[in-house]
Amino acid sequence: MELSVRHRTGSWAWLGLLAAALILAADQVSKWYVLNGLNLPLRGRVRVLPVLDLAMVWNRGVTFGMLNGLGAWSGPVIAVVALAIVAGLALWLRRTTSALVAVAIGAVAGGAVGNVMDRLRHGAVVDFIYAHIGDWAFNYVFNIADAAIVCGVIALVLDSQWTRPRSGAGASDAACGLPKPPQGG
C-alpha cells in the first residue's frame, strides 16, 4: 500500500473556511466589544499596553484608511468590490492543495467580509488598534480584519515566491510552458 503526501484538489478548502470563520468571528466580537463594552466612541482612547492603545476611528476607506477621501459613494463601491474579491478567493480556495494558501485565503476572505459587514451596518469600518513605541507611532489605526487581510496577502506573496519554478540549471522548461530546445551538437 502506497502512502501519498499529496492531497486531492480542494482538500484544504475546509481549513480556509475555518480560518475565514474564525477571523470573521474574532473581528466582529472585538468590534462589538469596542463599541458596546468599552464604549470607545465616547472614551476616544484607552491605553492597553505601553505600546498599544485602543483608539476609535470610523474608516470610510479600505485597509489602513486608503481611499478614505473618495466621497459617499465609496462605501457601497468598496463593499461590492470586496465581495467580488471574496467570490474569486472562494474559487481559488476550492482548487488549492496547500494548507498555507488555504489559511491565507481564509484570512483575507474573513477579514474582507468583516469589513463589508461594518460598511453595511455602520456606513464605515470600525478601526481601533493603535500601535506605537514612545513618540513613534504606526500612523494607522486598524482592526483584526485589516491585520488578517495584510497577513494573508503577505503569506500568499511569500508562498508564490517559494513555490514557483526556479530559472537556470535544473529548471524544467516544460513546467514553464516553454517548448523543449532542440538537442544538437
Q: 42-73: buried (b, 16+ CB within 10 Å) or exposed (e) per residue?
A: eeeebeeeeeebbbbbebbbbbbbeeeeeeee
Q: What is the mean pLDDT of residues 147-174?
A: 76
How far apart (Å, rounded) are the C-alpha atoms in residues 101 and 70? 32
Of the residues 27, 118, 127, 173, only one is catalytic, namely: 127
Under a CB-based contact definition with an 8 Å cutoff, are residues 98 and 105 in contact? no
127 counts as catalytic: yes
- The pLDDT assigned to 169 comes to 46
- Of 162, 4, 15, 175, residue with least CA distance to 94: 15
Q: Give me the phi and psi of 129, to 5 degrees please.
A: -95, 120
135 counts as catalytic: no
- pLDDT of 116 > 50? The answer is yes
The tens digit of pLDDT for each residue in 169-183 reads 444 444 444 445 455
Half-sphere exposure of 38 (CA within 13 A, CB side): 20
- The pLDDT assigned to 11 comes to 80
- The pLDDT assigned to 52 comes to 93
> From residue 10, how far is each of 6, 82, 109, 114, 164 by CA, in Å?
11, 23, 16, 24, 20
Give the torsion sign (CA, 160, 25, 31, 89).
positive
The tens digit of pLDDT for each residue in 22-79 reads 999 999 999 999 999 999 999 989 999 999 999 999 988 665 455 555 555 566 677 7
Q: Give me the phi and psi of 49, to 5 degrees please.
A: -140, 165
Of the residues 27, 53, 146, 173, only one is catalytic, namely: 146
DSSP 3-state of 103: helix
Q: Which helix (H) or strand (E) holds 15?
A: helix 13-32
- The pLDDT assigned to 69 comes to 54
Record the cell numbers describing residue 110, joined without a space: 474573513
- The pLDDT assigned to 123 comes to 86
